Structure 1
Amino acid sequence: MIAATAAWWVSVTFLNTSFPFLAPWVALLTIDATAYRTLSRGVQSTIASLLGIGVAFLVGTFLGVSLWTYALALFVGLVLARVRWIRDEGVTVATMSIFILSDGFSEQQQQFGDRILEIGVGILVGVVVNLLVLPPLRDRQASRYVDSVNRRMGSVLENMGEEFASSWDTDRADAWIDETDSITGELNSAWSIVRFARESRRANPRSYLSRLRRARAQDRQTPDPEEASWEDILRRADEGASHLRNLARTLREASYADGEWDTRFREEWASISRDAGRAVADPDAEVESLSSRLKQLTEELSDDENLPTRHWPVYGTMITGLQHIVEIVDDVASSREAREAASS
């Protein structure tokens, strides 16, 4: 709205054109969600508008303006709209031809220079307005997705520990599996936001301001917020969701197993699982060394000659799966510290 209004005002006040519609129209076409897209669309709009003017000029000059030449100009414009490098704004070729031919071609023929100037003004105003309002970097939105995924994973893991300490059934295990599938879907949305955030940094003044802040932070020996990239954080989260899903499937299959569980394994694994869930959901939570506790549990069970051999594959799978998730806990904490440093 601001860009279109400003472009119209500039066109009326300084260009003094008879039909000042091109500048605000092009300004609207140019504005987009990120500075990079605005610049890209500005270039495409310029090329498409010039092509549209060229088509109208050639058809109107050599063939005149009639029903069939009007249709011909529209057809040529739509064909040119298929060109790959202007496809996002390709329809502008056809619409520009329509504007020129419909608005009295003989008069427009004398004002092609003014029309091109209006197009330039519209693009310039659109780009300037987009830069002045400082398009957001979308980092905060990506951070909210990551925090939500961590909380949900931690909740599932903590619930696993609570259920495993007493009893569970296939319905609970199926619910855990469904939750991990939902977490994966949220991660896919997070990936889209991160890609958008990366694009939002291109040609964005905020990215330069952020670099200045990071440089000052480094001077004060503050952790560099770029140490953990969003891609690395999401890859680790994907891995965590995958291991969590495997744990849920293991518990579902184990619900059919005969025989009693080893009490020591059951209590300690459940305790570690609950603490790991709290650590994933809240990296600030203080828990004992999870890796050391898993290692100690493995060693104790290995020395126990009374442990039934047939249980070891299940026990080993559960310990290994939890170990993989525990390894991610430290990454979760460090990535959160980096993100908080970036947002501050």
Structure 2
Amino acid sequence: MRPSGTTAVRERLGGPLAAVRPPGRYQVVQSLKAAAAAALAWALTGWWLAAPMALMAPWAAVALVQGTVYRSLRSAVELLAMMGAGTLLAAGAAALTGDTMTAMLIALPLTVLLGNWAPVGEQGLYAPTTALFVLAYGTYSLPAVGHRLLETGVGAVVGIAVNALVLPPVHSLQVRTLACALPRSCSQLLHDLSEGVVEEYDEARAERWHRAAGELPGRLSDLRAARGRASESFRFNPGHRLRRSTSSPSTDWDGVWALVANRLLTLTLTLWETASEHRGLPRPPDPPLRALGALFAAASEVCARNAAVMERGPDDACLQERAGHLAEARRALADAKEYLHAPGPDAGASLGSLVAGCQALLDDLTPGEDGSALPAAVRTGRT
């Protein structure tokens, strides 16, 4: 029985629709603030000032409800410069030619070039679009130009004020969320390795491990970017002390997991090469692989406990569990070292590479004396 047309369409759209996530609280709040700023700017210029082109004010207000108060202030300077330039160039071209089409042919190339050339980022688009609006309305007298510049300024002030005074955005929570996600991702990968190396893993499976390890540096980059947004969100923010914020780990935390990510990249690459038919590096024997599987399982638990320490703080029970798993991992490493002198130089080379990587991994995961997740490698600056 063939599916109906409605069912077929639903099946085709099921994947893309499932990937669409509902907007978060931050998106909803910022959208409502932008709408409120636009309405307030329209009311001030359209009703109170009786401006002839009240569109400029709400347009500027919406554009300046940015992700941080600092970004609103910085963007305001750029936006006012671009909208002012677009207004003046359009009015000048129209006054010079007396024809709207000819004025467009003069003003638009200049404003597009200005927007692309000036170091104003996305705000450069407002120069040509403002010129189009000015020419579309068709009033180019000096009072009209002054009104448009005034409307733009009012909209900018309203947008900045609403963003700064109504739930000003603070992004510290995202830093903590991403910082906790790093050890969880490492824990999951190590868990997969612990199950896979004791089985007859093939090249495709080993490649998936290496690809998963290759995603970790990208998550570190996301964490560093989130730190930048969090730091920026406190600049010129009059209400950040009234907003709920969360303490974030130090940047040394990033260094720990940068080291761990590099170890996992090396380990998974070696495993991939031992599974590849195109490489001359043979798979290590089963007994040392079982020892490495136990090591990966214990290291996975160490990473999971590190995530718990970051979320809840270093309670004694969690720290004892982490120390126990770390000791278990070192015992498994000692067991794997017993097979380093096994027959076959190639097999010894592949096992030696894995053992060296695992020993470095455990050193990276060894906590500091204060119970934190900062190993001696980070405290002494070793990379």
Match of 2:365 in 1: 329
Q: Report the equivalent of 1:21.
A: 55
1:241: Cα distance to partner?
2.2
Partner of 2:46: 12
SS at match of 2:116: coil
- Secondary structure of the structure 1 residue equivalent to 2:51: coil
Select the structure that is richer in helix. 1
- Helix, strand or coil for the counterpart of 1:82? helix
Higher RCO structure (Cα 8 Å, ≥6 apart) = 1
Which of 209, 213, 235 is matched with 1:180 structurally? 213
Q: Distance in 1 between matches of 2:124 and 2:189?
A: 49
Superposed CA deviations along residues 139-181 of structure 1, whole A, max 9, x for unmatched, are: 33343334333223212213323444x4332344333223223
Structure 1 position 167 matched with structure 2 position 195:
no
Contact 1:184–1:238 at 8 Å: present in 2 too? yes
Aligned equivalent of 1:244:
264
**d(CA) in 2 for partners of 1:267, 1:86:** 58
Aligned equivalents of 1:36, 1:15: Cα separation in 2: 29
Mark the CA change 1:112 to 1:290 in structure 2 (over 3 Å): closer, same or farther: same
Give a deviation string over 1:76-101, Cα, whole Å, max 9, x none.
Answer: 32232233233522232233333334
| Match for residue 96 of structure 1 among 130, 135, 152 | 130
**Aligned letter for 1:318?**
L
Aligned length: 319
Task: Quote the RMSD (CA, aligned, Å).
Answer: 3.8
CA distance in 2, matches of 1:328, 1:119: 55
Match of 2:253 among 229, 233, 237: 233
Gaps of 5+ in 2: 1-34, 276-280, 309-317, 375-383
How big is the shift at 1:306?
7.7
Query: Which of 300, 303, 322 matches 1:277?
Result: 300
Aligned to 1:217: none
Question: How far 1:39 moved relative to its partner?
Answer: 1.4
Whether the 8 Å contact between 2:164 and 2:237 is mirrored in structure 1 is yes
Contact 1:151 1:282 in 2 (8 A): no
2:181 maps to which residue? 148
Correspondence 1:318 to 2:340 = no
What TM-score do you get using the length of structure 1 for normalisation? 0.75
- The amino acid that maps onto 1:328 is D
Q: What are the within-5 Å matches in structure 2 for residues 86-125 of structure 1?
A: 86-105=120-139, 108-125=141-158
Task: Tell me, in whole angstroms, the C-alpha distance in 1 between the residues paired with 2:324 and 2:349.
Answer: 25
> Given residue 256 of structure 2, which amino acid in structure 1 is its aligned partner?
R
TM (norm. structure 2) is: 0.68
In the TM superposition, what whole-angstrom CA distance separates every residue of 1:255-297 from its partner, at most 9, and x where no partner exists?
6747855x5x555543332111111123245144566666667
Tell whether the 8 Å contact from 2:170 to 2:234 is kept in structure 1 after alignment: yes
Aligned counterparts of 1:88 and 1:267: Cα–Cα separation in 2: 55
Structure 1 unmatched runs, 5+:
215-224, 337-344
- The AA in structure 1 aligned to 2:304 is A
**What is the match of residue 68 of structure 2?**
34
> SS where residue 137 of structure 1 aligns?
coil
Identity of aligned residues (%): 23
Match of 1:340 in 2: none
Quickly say closer, same or farther: Cα 1:89–1:170, change in 2 above 3 A: same
Distance 1:326 1:71 in 2: 67
